[in-house]
Chains A and B, each alone.
Chain A
Amino acid sequence: MSNTSENPNPSSSSAKITLKTSDNELFEVEEAVAMKFCTVKQYFEDEKDNDVAARGSSTVIPLPNVHSAVLARLISYCKKLPQSNAVADNHEEEETKKKERKQYGTPGDLVDLISAANYLDFKEGLEFFNQALADHIQNKSVEYVRKFFGIKGDFEPHEEEKYREEYAWAFEGVDED
Chain B
Amino acid sequence: MLPGDCVSKILSFTSPADAFRSSMVSSMFHSAAKSDIVWEMFLPTDYKDGVSRLITPLTFTTKKELFVCLCNPVLIDGGRKSFKLEKSSGKISYMLSARELSITWSNDPMQWSWKSIPQSRNRIEVLSKRVIDGTEGISNERKDGWMEIELGKFFSGEANEEVKMSLMEVKGYQLKGGIIIEGIEVRPLH
Contact = CB atoms under 8 A, between A and B. Distances in A.
A142 B21 contact: yes
B146 interface: no
A155 B24 CA distance: 8
The dominant DSSP class at the A interface is: helix
Q: Interface residue tally of chain A, by bracket?
A: 20 to 34
A139 B13 contact: no
A170 B17 contact: yes
Residue among B2, B9, B24, B87 with most chain A CB within 10 A:
B24
B15 A153 contact: no
A172 to B, nearest CB: 9
Contact of B2 (A114, A154, A160): A114
A146 interface: yes
Contacts of B13: 130-131, 134-135
A36 to B, nearest CB: 18
B24 A137 contact: no
B18 interface: yes
Contacts of B70: none
Contacts of B28: 151
B59 interface: no
A174 interface: yes
Nearest to A151: B26
B22 interface: yes
A151 B20 contact: no
B189 interface: no
A126 B9 contact: yes
B87 A169 contact: yes
A59 interface: no
B24 A138 contact: no
A153 B15 CA distance: 21
Interface of A: 89, 111, 114-115, 118, 126-127, 130-131, 133-135, 137-139, 141-142, 145-146, 149-155, 160, 163-164, 167, 169-171, 174
Given A146-B26, A152-B26, A153-B26, 14 more contacts: A111-B1, A111-B2, A115-B2, A127-B9, A134-B10, A137-B18, A142-B25, A149-B1, A149-B2, A151-B28, A154-B27, A164-B24, A170-B21, A171-B21
7 contacts: A130-B9, A137-B10, A138-B18, A139-B15, A142-B21, A149-B2, A171-B21
